[in-house]
Amino acid sequence: EFMNEIKGLSVLEKQIKDKLNIEKVIVVPGNSDHFEWVKQEMGKACVSFLQSVIDSKDIIAVTGGTTMAAVANVMNPLDKTNNYLFVPARGGIGEKVENQANTIVAEMARKAGVNYRLLYAPDPLSESAYQTIINEPSINETLQYIRGATVVLHGIGDAMTMAKRRKTPENVEEELLLRRAITEAFGYYFDAMGNVVYKVRTVGIQLEDLNTIDHVVTIAGGQSKGKAIASYFKQGKSNLLITDEAAAKEILKG
């Protein structure tokens, strides 16, 4: 029974890899829409992957969300040198504090026994505030680390779910509907073809930065995110997708 289950998952991994054209896919059993432990299983897969690649001087940039919080929950030391660093990929985002990148980064660093830097910037930012803030020394210092990130861990959200959770202004919500936004990641909203249809002004990792980062790890599961994941991978750059069985099956239906 157990061996059949494992075999089933590796078949799913291969099918997702081919369908979405991703270097590496890991599928864990279950549906994270219903069970929190499924997010932690994705987290454990992420920690094992990091243990195989992290070196001294690596900088790991992390986004927010409940999935990333679950990864933090199961974080462990990644390398003997203890000389790598966690940084948030972006500022605060109208989310509960436990879902914000800063909180998650501090928890990951504590569990891994290494240092971290925080980013005290609101998100979204107005254009004028943006120009002032990026020149603020304490913020600029963290931004330098973020620009040097060698690893990115990020979540993917269903566009309208994320817009609501982050208390997005009504006119922006209408625009997202009009432009048929399906996915949100890094403050970017994408349509079904993977085109960027809206972008929140943020300090931190920008989509084009992903092209030069060694390891981009996407962690997202649950049947409800199937379409969002498929749309993100139309154009999104990621080396590894860690997902669950329910999302994988939903992706293959589409």
Q: Given the rule CB under 6 A, which residues bind ligand G3H?
A: 63-67, 155-157, 162, 184-185
Minimal distance in Å, beta carbon 224 to ligand G3H? 9
Minimal distance in Å, beta carbon 137 to ligand G3H? 29
**Nearest residue to ligand G3H, scored by beta-carbon proximity:** 65
Nearer Cβ to ligand G3H (99/239): 99
Minimal distance in Å, beta carbon 197 to ligand G3H? 15
In sequence order, which ranges of 54-99 are alpha helices (DSSP H)? 66-73
Q: Are 16 and 241 in contact (CB under 8 A)?
A: yes
Which two structure tokens, joined as six digits, stand for 100?
A: 């914000």
Nearer Cβ to ligand G3H (107/184): 184
Distance CA 190, CA 182 (A): 6
Minimal distance in Å, beta carbon 244 to ligand G3H? 12
Nearer Cβ to ligand G3H (15/160): 160
- Rg of the chain in Å (alpha carbons): 17
Nearer Cβ to ligand G3H (77/106): 106
Q: Is the preceding peptide bond at 124 cis, omega within 30 degrees of 0?
A: yes
Minimal distance in Å, beta carbon 78 to ligand G3H? 21
Q: Which residues of 144-182 are buried (b: 16+ CB within 10 A; e: fewer)?
A: ebbeebbbbbbbbbbbbebbebbebeeebbebbeebebb
Nearer Cβ to ligand G3H (64/124): 64
Distances (CA, A) of 48 to 9, 44, 79, 108, 202: 17, 6, 11, 14, 30
